[in-house]
Amino acid sequence: MVQVVNQTRRAILARQCEVARTFLSRGRGLLGRSALPEGSGLLIEPCSSIHMLFMRFPIDAIFVDRQGQVVALYPSLPPWRLYAGHRRARYVLELPAGVIAATQTAIGDQIVVQPAE
Protein backbone atom coordinates (compact mmCIF):
# COMPACT_ATOMS: atom_id res chain seq x y z
CA MET A 1 0.00 0.00 0.00
CA VAL A 2 1.06 3.52 -0.78
CA GLN A 3 -0.27 7.01 -0.14
CA VAL A 4 -0.71 9.29 -3.15
CA VAL A 5 -0.46 13.06 -2.74
CA ASN A 6 -1.04 15.92 -5.15
CA GLN A 7 1.96 17.98 -4.06
CA THR A 8 0.91 21.01 -6.12
CA ARG A 9 -2.48 21.27 -4.37
CA ARG A 10 -1.28 19.83 -1.04
CA ALA A 11 -4.10 17.29 -1.20
CA ILE A 12 -4.17 13.58 -0.42
CA LEU A 13 -5.62 11.66 -3.37
CA ALA A 14 -5.54 8.23 -1.68
CA ARG A 15 -4.47 7.29 1.85
CA GLN A 16 -4.47 3.54 1.14
CA CYS A 17 -3.70 2.90 -2.52
CA GLU A 18 -3.07 -0.60 -3.81
CA VAL A 19 -0.33 -1.05 -6.41
CA ALA A 20 -0.71 -3.31 -9.47
CA ARG A 21 2.62 -4.02 -11.18
CA THR A 22 2.30 -7.66 -12.27
CA PHE A 23 0.71 -8.70 -15.55
CA LEU A 24 -2.22 -10.36 -13.76
CA SER A 25 -2.88 -7.58 -11.23
CA ARG A 26 -2.72 -4.91 -13.96
CA GLY A 27 -5.15 -6.88 -16.14
CA ARG A 28 -7.56 -7.49 -13.28
CA GLY A 29 -7.54 -3.89 -12.04
CA LEU A 30 -10.82 -3.16 -10.25
CA LEU A 31 -12.85 -5.83 -12.04
CA GLY A 32 -15.15 -7.79 -9.78
CA ARG A 33 -15.47 -5.04 -7.19
CA SER A 34 -18.75 -3.33 -6.44
CA ALA A 35 -17.20 -0.05 -5.22
CA LEU A 36 -13.99 1.77 -4.41
CA PRO A 37 -14.07 3.02 -0.81
CA GLU A 38 -13.31 6.67 -0.01
CA GLY A 39 -9.60 7.21 0.64
CA SER A 40 -8.57 4.19 -1.40
CA GLY A 41 -7.35 3.71 -4.94
CA LEU A 42 -5.41 1.57 -7.37
CA LEU A 43 -2.11 2.59 -8.99
CA ILE A 44 -1.43 0.61 -12.18
CA GLU A 45 2.17 0.72 -13.46
CA PRO A 46 3.22 0.63 -16.22
CA CYS A 47 0.00 1.76 -17.83
CA SER A 48 -0.86 4.36 -20.47
CA SER A 49 -4.50 3.37 -21.14
CA ILE A 50 -7.44 1.66 -19.48
CA HIS A 51 -10.92 0.44 -20.38
CA MET A 52 -14.06 0.29 -18.24
CA LEU A 53 -15.56 -2.89 -19.70
CA PHE A 54 -17.34 -5.03 -17.08
CA MET A 55 -16.95 -2.31 -14.43
CA ARG A 56 -19.87 -1.72 -12.06
CA PHE A 57 -19.20 1.86 -10.96
CA PRO A 58 -17.64 5.12 -12.21
CA ILE A 59 -14.11 6.14 -11.21
CA ASP A 60 -11.76 9.09 -11.57
CA ALA A 61 -8.65 8.24 -13.59
CA ILE A 62 -5.46 10.32 -13.38
CA PHE A 63 -2.67 9.58 -15.86
CA VAL A 64 0.83 10.52 -14.69
CA ASP A 65 4.15 10.65 -16.60
CA ARG A 66 7.64 9.50 -15.54
CA GLN A 67 8.33 12.85 -13.88
CA GLY A 68 5.20 12.60 -11.71
CA GLN A 69 3.21 15.20 -13.64
CA VAL A 70 -0.47 14.77 -14.43
CA VAL A 71 -0.86 14.42 -18.22
CA ALA A 72 -4.55 13.44 -18.47
CA LEU A 73 -7.67 13.53 -16.30
CA TYR A 74 -10.86 11.51 -16.69
CA PRO A 75 -13.33 12.52 -13.97
CA SER A 76 -16.31 10.23 -13.28
CA LEU A 77 -15.34 7.79 -16.01
CA PRO A 78 -18.50 5.70 -16.58
CA PRO A 79 -18.66 1.90 -16.75
CA TRP A 80 -18.39 0.34 -20.22
CA ARG A 81 -16.26 3.11 -21.74
CA LEU A 82 -13.86 1.57 -24.25
CA TYR A 83 -10.77 3.76 -23.81
CA ALA A 84 -9.12 6.33 -21.58
CA GLY A 85 -5.43 7.17 -21.65
CA HIS A 86 -2.49 9.28 -22.70
CA ARG A 87 0.58 8.25 -24.72
CA ARG A 88 3.06 9.87 -22.28
CA ALA A 89 1.58 8.26 -19.16
CA ARG A 90 3.75 5.96 -17.05
CA TYR A 91 1.00 5.03 -14.61
CA VAL A 92 -2.68 5.61 -13.86
CA LEU A 93 -4.40 6.26 -10.56
CA GLU A 94 -7.91 4.86 -10.34
CA LEU A 95 -9.80 6.68 -7.59
CA PRO A 96 -13.38 7.01 -6.33
CA ALA A 97 -15.45 9.30 -8.55
CA GLY A 98 -15.27 12.89 -7.28
CA VAL A 99 -11.66 12.94 -6.07
CA ILE A 100 -10.43 15.02 -9.04
CA ALA A 101 -13.05 17.70 -8.38
CA ALA A 102 -12.69 17.63 -4.58
CA THR A 103 -8.90 18.08 -4.75
CA GLN A 104 -8.97 20.44 -7.76
CA THR A 105 -6.35 18.25 -9.47
CA ALA A 106 -5.30 19.69 -12.84
CA ILE A 107 -3.06 18.86 -15.80
CA GLY A 108 0.56 19.62 -14.83
CA ASP A 109 0.12 19.01 -11.09
CA GLN A 110 2.95 17.11 -9.39
CA ILE A 111 2.00 13.73 -7.90
CA VAL A 112 4.03 12.01 -5.16
CA VAL A 113 3.71 8.33 -4.26
CA GLN A 114 5.01 7.46 -0.77
CA PRO A 115 4.68 4.64 1.77
CA ALA A 116 1.24 4.56 3.41
CA GLU A 117 1.06 5.90 6.95
Residue 11, pLDDT score: 98
Q: 57 in a domain, yes or no? A: yes
Q: 116 in a domain, yes or no? A: no
The domain that contains 47 carries what CATH number?
Answer: 2.60.120.1140
Would you say residue 107 has pLDDT above 90? yes
Residue 23, pLDDT score: 92
Four-point Cα dihedral 28, 88, 106, 58, nearest 10 = -20
Q: pTM of the predicted model, to two decimals?
A: 0.96
The runs of H, that is alpha helices, within the chain are 23-28, 99-103
User: How many degrees, rounded to 5, is the angle at CA 20 between CA 34 and CA 33?
Assistant: 5
Average pLDDT of the chain, as a whole number: 96
**Percentage of the chain with pLDDT > 90?**
93
The rounded radius of gyration (Å) of the Cα atoms in the chain is 13
Overall average pLDDT of the 94-116 stretch:
97
| Long-range CB contacts for residues 17-24, cutoff 8 Å, separation at least 24 | 17/41, 17/42, 17/43, 17/93, 17/113, 17/116, 18/42, 18/43, 19/43, 19/45, 20/44, 20/45, 21/45
Residue 31, pLDDT score: 87
Overall average pLDDT of the 70-77 stretch:
98
Q: 16 in a domain, yes or no? A: yes
Q: 63 in a domain, yes or no? A: yes
Q: 113 in a domain, yes or no? A: no
Residue 85, pLDDT score: 95
Q: Which residues contact 32 (CB under 8 A, 6 or more apart)?
A: none
Which 3 state secondary structure label does DSSP give 28?
helix
Q: 40 in a domain, yes or no? A: yes
Would you say residue 35 has pLDDT above 80? yes
Confidence band of 1 (pLDDT split at 50, 70, 90): very high
Residue 71, pLDDT score: 98
How many structural domains comprise the chain? 1
Q: 114 in a domain, yes or no? A: no
Domain span including residue 100? 2-108
